[in-house]
A = this chain, B = another copy of it.
Amino acid sequence: MEIIAEKKQPDRRRQVVDAAARSFETFGYKGTTMDQVAKLAQVGKGTIYTFYANKEELFEEIMTGLIRELKQVADETLDAKLPFADNLMNVLHRVSDYRARHALAVKLSQEVRDIGTPMAKDGLEKVEKAIIGYVALHVKAASDKGEIRSCSPELTAYMMLKMYLALTADGNHLHEALSKEQILESFRFYCFEGLANR
């Protein structure tokens, strides 16, 4: 009954979280001020501190939300009928794409690049770790099912993400940009098939 009820009074916590989300994705971590969030949330500044001990905790809550979204996208992408390799590539592609379009992730990336805000870096690192953890879970499952060779799930997931990012990295001058098809084909080649002749 606790969860279903509650309507009349404004849900302060939600107001704060929504305002914070908007502010962080518009102004970045550093550019967001607690006064600003309070004003956006139409809430006294002190109220924020009844829910979150400090700016960092508030930020973590927002990042947790982003991670939850990504997980949702990944889950929706998974198709039990497809082989592991296809699922993996689809998930990596959809999640990377979603991340690249998500205002918060974009803003934080730019902030890290331009001014190196440590908290923004931490936040994005947490996202990477979450992706790796998610992939590792499915690597383990595929490995247990004998669908792929046995391997360390964590390390393998890490390598997969790194390889995928290396192929999609367009900012660098180390190799020319690849089309989506080339990326997927190359990823399958380097990740699953390997260079060895057989």
Contact = CB atoms under 8 A, between A and B. Distances in A.
A141 interface: no
Contact of A175 (B151, B158, B167, B174): B158
A81 interface: no
Contacts of A174: 125, 128-129, 132, 158
Contacts of A166: 158-159, 162-163, 166
Contact of A155 (B186, B194, B196): B186
A154 B175 contact: yes
Interface in A143-198: 146-149, 151, 154-156, 158-159, 162-163, 166-167, 172-175, 186, 189-198
Interface of A: 85, 116, 125, 128-129, 132, 146-149, 151, 154-156, 158-159, 162-163, 166-167, 172-175, 186, 189-198
Given A190-B191, A193-B194, 4 more contacts: A125-B174, A129-B174, A159-B167, A191-B195
